[in-house]
A and B are shown apart, each in its own frame.
Chain A
């Protein structure tokens, strides 16, 4: 009789045991899926919250006068927009949330506002993570709270800027910074309004500061960043905001430490529960092992009977657990991570990995008791059963 037929027959006979084992696998995979999905949500949320602190890497035009820059909040000079793409393509430089802006103060009906063109977030090559920085569609603007209040602008209304009409899609909440007097638009729109096509006056990014983490000093990191960037951005000047980076780094380390502690625990607990159920199944089936040995089935053939069941459990349990865990994460996640709820999604690469890992785990869990059982004295096996 074919082994797979025996596997199916046994499952049909011990439905409850199989369903319980399947649920254990699905629960373990589900727990893992909830954990990695919400873990990623946690990372996104933390990044988003940290963005409120501002990015720590700023590149401004080389000849910028710093007294002017710090007092105005932006450089009065510009540099080529192409720099941002050169920076993006820079090999071996860790960064995230790269964007570029063009800012300039203008007079709007007697009030000073800062027009701010924002380039949609530029991803490092080969990385495809959801953007966290906000971006504005062409023909639309977001207005700062002070601008909205002074000109009594509501969302959905139009606004004329330098002779062009834009639709206000968001009136922002007060931030307590000069963002309140800004009008944010798409970079290309603002470049056209200001007659500064293909120009920007700042590149901003979150830089990992890996060198500082690995023991080098802040000056080393800054010098190295400057040296690296000077070659490709000859008109750029690098500013590293260490205070922000420190806080960000401590928070990130705490988060990664927490996730790093829980991830192996979740895998271990799932693996143990699968292992216990598989061992119980093997113990329940000592008689079969004795019978099969007595009638001349080889050890490998008997082991296949148990490993086959375990593999089937893993193959079925992985997608069930993945989708159940995904449903739970996507249902409850947005309530926890309200700022980045839109970015919370199932990573289907995990499904492919889990379909390989879960059966491997169940097979390993089944292998140990099965290997012991097939090597036992069949006389004892049959007597004990």
Chain B
């Protein structure tokens, strides 16, 4: 493992809608190092997505400090946060969230300056994800697995340090899910950090570490750390003391 890349200290998030308050995260402290593959587990509504969105700087915490890549996000304004995300973070969503009127290649290029080198790199990346024949297809013409691989390519194209993946396999068949997880695994092996939220155990065997969330809190005693050599070999969630 490398340097500390993500640090959350006593981070809480409260959603307010009129008089109603909902606790999204409750005093979460979490430190993630470079080249970690962290799987955040927990049932729906446990705060997994909130955690990812806070790390991406898309939401402000109600309390606590978040530092990503040695940058305290609270000190950045919204434009600086956008630039920070563009440089450091790639996002993969459960619902793919591709722009419907852009082709596969254009969706990948969306977050880039669309220079010729980026275009070539995008084509190569898409080919490596098995989408070489679909470069000019629209999202509606793709299968769910192809759409998610496009989303993964979009997250990877800007060479981010961190990939945040929110239920990336939630809508995929097992084969497609495996392909997507393999690519995230490759990214991690290439030096990146992956934080993947999931309510299923499918991704557990890729994880260096499992973090369990329940009602916005990290469940005591359920966080586990897996050694590199044990990854994929161990069943999900087996504690390693």
Contact = CB atoms under 8 A, between A and B. Distances in A.
B88 to A, nearest CB: 9
Interface stretch (A74-82, A222-230, A293-301, A331-339): A293-301
Contact of A382 (B78, B82, B84, B95): B95
A296 B58 contact: no
B99 interface: yes
Interface residues of B, number: 32
B97 A382 contact: yes
> Is chain A's interface secondary structure helix, strand, loop, or mixed overall?
helix
B226 to A, nearest CB: 29
Contacts of A300: 79
Contacts of B87: 296
**Residue among B53, B97, B109 with max Cβ neighbours from chain A (10 Å):** B97
A14 interface: yes
Given A2-B114, A379-B50, A382-B93, A294 B85 contact: yes
Nearest to B60: A377
B174 interface: no
B99 A291 contact: yes
A379 B58 contact: yes
A382 B96 CA distance: 10
B106 A1 contact: yes
Given A1-B110, A1-B112, A377-B59, A297 B82 contact: yes
30 contacts: A1-B102, A1-B106, A2-B114, A9-B106, A10-B101, A13-B101, A290-B97, A292-B110, A294-B56, A294-B91, A294-B93, A294-B97, A295-B85, A295-B86, A295-B110, A296-B84, A296-B85, A296-B89, A296-B111, A297-B111, A298-B79, A299-B79, A299-B82, A377-B58, A378-B59, A379-B58, A379-B59, A382-B95, A382-B97, A385-B97
Given A294-B97, A298-B78, A378-B53, 10 more contacts: A1-B102, A1-B114, A9-B101, A9-B102, A9-B106, A294-B91, A295-B86, A296-B85, A296-B89, A300-B79
